[in-house]
């Protein structure tokens, strides 16, 4: 049984409240709050099993207090804003839908920009949590830091809680076996092709969803027509050639997928292309989900299209053997 350390590092505040939120170039401009809530404010990249434990507590508290639940996230992660971008594990859409499936009532997106980055920890508590959001119950991770220069922590939140009529509740790190659950740990698993471990940390298989778009159609000239799915990420957590499941309208198909810049044709933008086995339908504009099962190899540059064609044929055969073996094993 997998055991992991779940460190609640990312900012976590879970609020129970009714409100309308307006985003502006300055980050947060205005709130119309007509109720109170309990809240968690991590970045929640990937919504892994550690995050899921927090969300379960949020939803339970919301039901107990008979208030709606809210999760707050940022349009840009602080790391990316300060020039330390990391590959995002999920798009905002996928994250939003997963939170909704867990029972979260509201998902608030805050623009993390220069103005918001200058917000002090004290100002964050007084002006945002207390004055604008009117928070009444706040969960915070034991090692969580917030505000400019990361000076805010549980102790500061606790100091402000009683005079401002809200409860600050510290969530101790949850431990499992061997591996700490974190977004960084998931990224490491994906980069190394360890999709089995990534699935355990995420609580579900790693997947990328998007709409099928028109490409340059070079694949069909060599006998391997592909579907092209846009990647809404500056950095992709996976690069290379993979055996995948392709979910289309609740039906699943086998295929091989390439994520990369296609060096053989001089590509500059990271693309996701999938050759689906025994598939001959036009699905432009349809939303599909690519579920990553196994990494086959790294992306390579070939001297000619003929060499590329030969390698793709090998990749397809290898993929078919992989899925055949899995079917035999059950």
CATH assignment of the domain containing 236: 2.40.30.30
Residue 247 lies inside a defined structural domain of this protein: yes
Is residue 176 within 8 Å of 188, Cβ to Cβ? no
For residues 37 and 170, state if they share a domain.
yes
Domain boundary at 175, 194, 228, which? 175
pLDDT computed for residue 111 by the predictor: 85
Q: How far apart are CA 327 and CA 98, in angstroms?
A: 29
pLDDT computed for residue 36 by the predictor: 59
Residue 120 lies inside a defined structural domain of this protein: yes
pLDDT computed for residue 175 by the predictor: 60
pLDDT computed for residue 11 by the predictor: 37
pLDDT computed for residue 40 by the predictor: 72
pLDDT computed for residue 16 by the predictor: 37
Task: Domain count for the chain, please give it.
Answer: 2
Residue 41 lies inside a defined structural domain of this protein: yes
For residues 31 and 156, state if they share a domain.
yes
Strand pairing class (70-74; 38-40): parallel
pLDDT computed for residue 176 by the predictor: 63
For residues 262 and 161, state if they share a domain.
no
For residues 159 and 283, state if they share a domain.
no
Q: How far apart are CA 93 and CA 151, in angstroms?
A: 31
Is residue 107 within 8 Å of 3, Cβ to Cβ? no
Residue 153 CB contacts under 8 Å (≥ 6 apart), including other chains = 121, 140, 144, 145, 146
Count other Cβ atoms within 10 Å, centred on residue 249: 8
Residue 193 lies inside a defined structural domain of this protein: no
For residues 156 and 214, state if they share a domain.
no
For residues 148 and 230, state if they share a domain.
no
**Structural domain containing residue 282:** 205-329
pLDDT computed for residue 330 by the predictor: 55
Q: pLDDT 10s digit of each residue in the chain, 330 long?
A: 443 333 333 334 444 333 333 333 334 333 333 455 677 766 678 899 888 888 898 899 888 988 888 887 888 888 888 888 889 999 889 999 999 999 998 887 878 899 999 999 999 899 888 888 778 888 887 778 889 999 999 999 999 999 999 988 887 776 666 777 888 899 999 999 999 999 999 999 999 999 999 888 888 888 899 999 988 777 899 999 999 999 999 899 999 999 999 888 878 789 999 999 999 999 999 999 999 999 999 999 998 889 999 999 999 999 999 999 988 765
Residue 226 lies inside a defined structural domain of this protein: yes
pTM: 0.84
Q: How far apart are CA 55 and CA 95, in angstroms?
A: 13
Residue 63 lies inside a defined structural domain of this protein: yes
For residues 19 and 156, state if they share a domain.
yes
Tell me the CATH number at 111.
Answer: 3.40.50.620
pLDDT computed for residue 43 by the predictor: 65
Residue 162 lies inside a defined structural domain of this protein: yes
């Amino acid at each position: 049984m997998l055991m992991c350390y779940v460190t609640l590092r990312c900012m976590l505040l879970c609020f129970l409240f009714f409100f309308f939120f307006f985003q502006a170039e300055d980050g947060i401009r205005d709130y119309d709050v007509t109720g109170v809530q309990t809240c968690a404010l991590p970045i929640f990249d990937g919504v892994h099993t550690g995050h899921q434990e927090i969300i379960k507590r949020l939803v339970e508290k919301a039901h107990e207090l008979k208030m709606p639940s809210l999760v707050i996230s940022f349009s840009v992660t602080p790391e990316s804003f300060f020039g330390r971008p990391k590959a995002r594990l999920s798009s905002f859409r996928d994250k939003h839908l997963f939170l909704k499936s867990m029972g979260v009532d509201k998902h608030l997106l805050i623009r993390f920009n220069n103005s918001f980055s200058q917000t002090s920890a004290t100002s964050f508590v007084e002006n945002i949590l207390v004055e604008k959001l009117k928070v009444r119950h706040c969960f915070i991770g034991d090692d969580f830091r917030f505000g400019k220069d990361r000076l805010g922590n549980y102790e500061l939140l606790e100091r402000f809680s009683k005079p401002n009529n809200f409860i600050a509740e510290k969530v101790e790190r949850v431990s499992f076996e061997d591996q700490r659950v974190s977004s960084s740990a998931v990224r490491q698993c994906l980069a190394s092709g360890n999709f089995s471990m990534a699935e355990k940390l995420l609580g579900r298989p790693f997947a990328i969803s998007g709409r099928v778009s028109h490409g340059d159609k070079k694949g069909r000239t060599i006998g391997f027509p592909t579907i092209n799915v846009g990647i809404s990420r500056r950095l992709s957590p996976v690069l290379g050639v993979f055996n995948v499941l392709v979910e289309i309208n609740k039906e699943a198909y086998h295929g091989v997928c390439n994520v990369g810049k296609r060096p053989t044709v001089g590509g500059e933008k990271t693309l996701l292309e999938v050759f689906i086995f025994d598939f001959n339908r036009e699905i432009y504009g349809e939303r599909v989900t690519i579920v990553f099962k196994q990494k086959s190899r790294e992306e390579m540059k070939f001297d000619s299209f003929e060499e590329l064609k030969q390698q793709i044929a090998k990749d397809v055969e290898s993929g078919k053997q992989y899925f055949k073996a899995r079917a035999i094993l059950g």
